Amino acid sequence: MTGATFIKGENLDLRTIERDDLEKLQEMGNHPELRKYSPGARPVNKLKQEEYFEDFLSKDDNVFLMIEYGEEAVGWVNLKHIKEDSRKAEFGIRILPEHQGKGLGTEASNLIIQYGFETLNLHRIYGRTFEFNSASKALMEKLGFKREGTKRKAVFKDGEYRDVALYSLLEDEY
């Protein structure tokens, strides 16, 4: 296995993301199915992926962990833009389509949320997703996130400006 196990789960582990994962990350970023639900619209080549890995993924105010399931990296989960003064961070997750629907997203999310509140001492974890992404909205609701608003027609996707749904989970609701 690439990387070090950071959090052990029942069916999956969350591990550090290493340079050896660049190809996998690139595959996930460019994946036509995953791109349908992601605001990123541009192709990412190896050099761009490397830049992103060095300048963003490996920075202290972002925690990105690979989801390792059955000896395979099947996606990643993250708490990014961690702000220590206001004790908040943004939650995000990607899972390759062939591994969706197995409950991996719920388990990986619960692990990183617990870590966020208990180890990083966060007060608020927030998430956002396209209004049309019902799977992602369902996941956040299942995790206990509360809908707190809508960014109206905020991002151009699939031929028009789309609403973005805003969610958050507070320390005392968790």
Partner 1 sequence: MFIEDGDLILRPVEKEDLKFIRDTRMTPGVREEMGFRKPANLEQMKEGFREAMEDEDHIELLVVYEDSRAGHLSIDLDLENGNADYGMFLHTDLHGEGLGTRVTELILDYVFSEFPVNRVDASYRKGNTASRKMQRKLGFQEEARERDFIHLRGEYHDLVRTSILRSEWKE
- Cβ closest to partner 1, residue 20 vs residue 118: 20
Min dist. Cβ of residue 158 to partner 1 (A): 5
Min dist. Cβ of residue 94 to partner 1 (A): 16
Instruction: Give the start-end residues of each E strand in the chain.
Output: 5-8, 13-16, 63-69, 72-83, 88-95, 124-130, 146-157, 160-170
First to last CA, the chain: 32
Q: How far is the C-alpha of 44 from the C-alpha of 106, rounded, in Å?
A: 28
- Cβ closest to partner 1, residue 43 vs residue 101: 43
Q: Is the dihedral of CA 36, 108, 88, 168 positive or negative?
A: positive
- Cβ closest to partner 1, residue 5 vs residue 45: 45
Q: How far is the C-alpha of 122 from the C-alpha of 100, rounded, in Å?
A: 28
Min dist. Cβ of residue 44 to partner 1 (A): 6
Min dist. Cβ of residue 42 to partner 1 (A): 6
**Which residues here bind partner 1, judged by CB under 8 A?**
26-27, 30-32, 35, 41-48, 156-159, 161
Min dist. Cβ of residue 100 to partner 1 (A): 18
- Cβ closest to partner 1, residue 31 vs residue 87: 31
Decide: 83 and 16 in contact? Cβ < 8 Å: no
- Cβ closest to partner 1, residue 120 vs residue 155: 155
